Structure 1
Amino acid sequence: MTTTLTERYISATTDSLPLETQSDVRAELEASIADAIESRLEQGEDPAEAERAVLTDLGDPVALAASYADRPLHLLGPRYYLAWWRLLKLLLAIVPAAAVGGVALVQVIIGAPVGEVIGQAIGVGISATVHVFFWVTLMFVVLERTGSATGHDWDLDQLPEPRPTGAGRSEVVASVVFAGLMIGAVLWDRFRGFVQIDGHARDLQILHPQLWPWALLGMLALLLLEVGLAVLVHLRRGWTTGLAVANTALAAVWVSVILTLLGNERLVNPQFMGLVLPSDGGGPDTARVVVVLFVLSVIGVAAWDTIDGWRKAGREAKHRATAPETGLPV
């Protein structure tokens, strides 16, 4: 028996619907299609052409069935997209970095070559990123298809507080105090020493003796430049692209100086290291762990300081661009 196009179209639409709704949808489609064809026939169209035109206008039967069943035809809709994006950004900022740091630390402890440490860390970082994308997206796809609630509906209390873009007086004071403490600690270490043995201060420096005078004076000059940058940001009432570039350059110089001295074994006094981490009893492994943690801390602080400067410069640029339109002072 030959079936008409209308019967084939209705069957293709209703086959994927729940059994309890198929008969109602079939009756509704039969009536609406018949009315549409009848309207075209009254205008003088050929019956076969009128049927094809009506069914074509209805579109893909799978999409029509999804509209009857209220099934989404997208991966993530607006109801879940923002929650997915916020959680994804948070996890991408934490999980890959933690995985890379952990693997690098383990590889260093077991004495792996530098190339293997870097290769393993990069591989784990890529793998962690892919896994975060996949599993977070899969979780929200399941929520989308099941219609489950995330439990985090937006309200006005979630509006972020205004964030200052410039350096306030407290930040300048903190920068000056920190620099003063660092300068005092360096000079005290050079001329008095921090290490006490048998209750008496011993002329044993933490920093390498060969850093004096030029290397230490150069590091103290970098501290003063950091203070000067904070003061300049405060006086300019905000960050600019030039100040962000200067901040990035200072961070890069700091990292280069510290890592170069550390790599050449000219940063920490070897006598101090021998006293704190003796070579016997597994001392070398402990020293490797300390060095790795120190390097990760130096790079992490410099990266955060650089990113923070550029973010503030970007917010300040947007603020200045919109201030004339909103009447806010620039």
Structure 2
Amino acid sequence: MPSTLTSRYIDATARSLPADLEQDVREELTASIADAVEARIEQGEDPEVAERAALTELGDPAALAAGYTDRPLHLIGPRYYLTWLRLLKTLLIIVPPIAMLGAGIAHAISGASVGGVIAEAIAIGLSVTVHLFFWVTLVFVILERTRTETGTTWDVDQLPEERSSGTGRADLIPSLVLIALMLGAVAWDLTRGLAVIDGSTLPVLHPSLWPGWILLFAALLLLEAALAIANFVRKRWTTAAAIVNTALAVGFVSWALTLLGQGRLLNPELLEIARASGVDGDVSFTLGVILVVGILGGSAWDAIDGWIKTARDARR
């Protein structure tokens, strides 16, 4: 059944409440909204219009939740607190990871060591985070002090959609398709080669990885597929599933870092062709670090996402 505005409003209000308060608030809000909507319908309003009007009258669900817990909404004052908080959360999710990835790739290309690349990426991430906090807060302090209108007001269209638990078909099918594509790419690289140079193809991965290291990589992918199927059948994430998911992410990163450290990740023939074409620096290291950074970022996000979904399902 599709979610209603009322259910989305109640979810948005309850998600930041303590567990011992959440159920009571849900019941109270359900009853009070139903009464308000019914009263408007009795006055001749359309049910959908009545529902929107009742929810709009209640106001921002985050502010309502703060009222239930006596939690102050203050930056310098309460006027722009929620707008400041939402903008800051959005920027922190997007900007520092991009800055860290860019810094890591740039230092890898310049020939820095693996430790140097990681240290510089972390330093850049922390610096960007501090700057975001300072400048975004400063802007809102100025807006509030000058009583400038931002033109942003809350309405029911801003209610977040009910979030997927990560166990439906919409999550399972893309996961299995991605795993199948990765297995297919590795198989194609082994048999045909993914790199095309002067009309001929060469493998990108080191030939010595077959069979042991390639089979290990394939086993990790198949275990990832099995975990996705198990979560789909169970219809929820569990702590055990999150632990397995994190272990698999660590396995992918260990696989890549071990081979990079041994200089066995990429095909040496392909690297020789790159050097002969005039590419400066340690091509093997540079390309390897770029690949590892991608695997590290993807694995870290996959592990974190698993724990987020586990916590979400536990609350349900």
TM-score above 0.5: yes
Partner of 1:167: 167
CA distance, structure 1, for counterparts of residue 242 and residue 124 of structure 2: 31
| 8 Å contact from structure 2 (residues 168, 232) kept in 1 | yes
Partner of 1:249: 247
Q: Name the aligned partner's letter for residue 308 of structure 1.
A: D
Deviations 1:82-107 (A, max 9, x none): 11111111222233333333333333
CA distance, structure 2, for counterparts of residue 125 and residue 174 of structure 1: 30
CA distance, structure 2, for counterparts of residue 149 and residue 255 of structure 1: 48
CA RMSD of aligned residues (A): 2.5
Structure 1 residue 227 displacement after superposition: 0.9
Q: Name the aligned partner's letter for residue 311 of structure 2.
A: G
Q: How does 1:15-26 map to 2 (within 5 A)?
A: none
CA distance, structure 2, for counterparts of residue 212 and residue 141 of structure 1: 60
Instruction: Select the structure of larger CA radius of gyration.
Output: 1
From the superposition, tell whether residues 146 and 286 of structure 1 become closer, same or farther in structure 2 (CA, over 3 Å).
farther
CA distance, structure 2, for counterparts of residue 197 and residue 120 of structure 1: 34
| 8 Å contact from structure 2 (residues 205, 265) kept in 1 | yes
Q: How does 1:204-283 map to 2 (within 5 A)?
A: 204-275=202-273, 277-283=274-280
Q: Name the aligned partner's letter for residue 224 of structure 2.
A: E
From the superposition, tell whether residues 160 and 211 of structure 1 become closer, same or farther in structure 2 (CA, over 3 Å).
same
Partner of 2:303: 306
Segments of structure 1 that go 5 or more residues without pairing to the other structure are: 1-73, 320-330
Segments of structure 2 that go 5 or more residues without pairing to the other structure are: 1-73
Choose between structure 1 and 2 for higher RCO, CA contacts under 8 A separated by at least 6 residues.
2
Partner of 1:9: none
Identity %: 51
Q: Name the aligned partner's letter for residue 235 of structure 1.
A: V
Structure 1 residue 254 displacement after superposition: 0.7
CA distance, structure 2, for counterparts of residue 91 and residue 111 of structure 1: 30
Give the structure-1-normalised TM-score.
0.66
From the superposition, tell whether residues 147 and 308 of structure 1 become closer, same or farther in structure 2 (CA, over 3 Å).
same
Alignment: residue pair count = 243
Partner of 1:107: 107
SS at match of 2:164: coil
Deviations 1:174-225 (A, max 9, x none): 33333333333323332344455665x66x4322111111211111111111
Deviations 1:217-239 (A, max 9, x none): 11111111111001000010111
CA distance, structure 2, for counterparts of residue 258 and residue 119 of structure 1: 18
Q: Name the aligned partner's letter for residue 262 of structure 1.
A: L
CA distance, structure 2, for counterparts of residue 195 and residue 99 of structure 1: 29
Q: Name the aligned partner's letter for residue 81 of structure 1.
A: Y
SS at match of 1:267: coil
Structure 1 residue 289 displacement after superposition: 4.5
CA distance, structure 1, for counterparts of residue 287 and residue 311 of structure 2: 36
CA distance, structure 1, for counterparts of residue 156 and residue 277 of structure 2: 61
SS at match of 1:266: coil
SS at match of 2:149: coil
SS at match of 2:187: helix
CA distance, structure 2, for counterparts of residue 234 and residue 98 of structure 1: 31
Give the structure-2-normalised TM-score.
0.68
CA distance, structure 1, for counterparts of residue 292 and residue 267 of structure 2: 17
Q: Name the aligned partner's letter for residue 242 of structure 2.
A: A
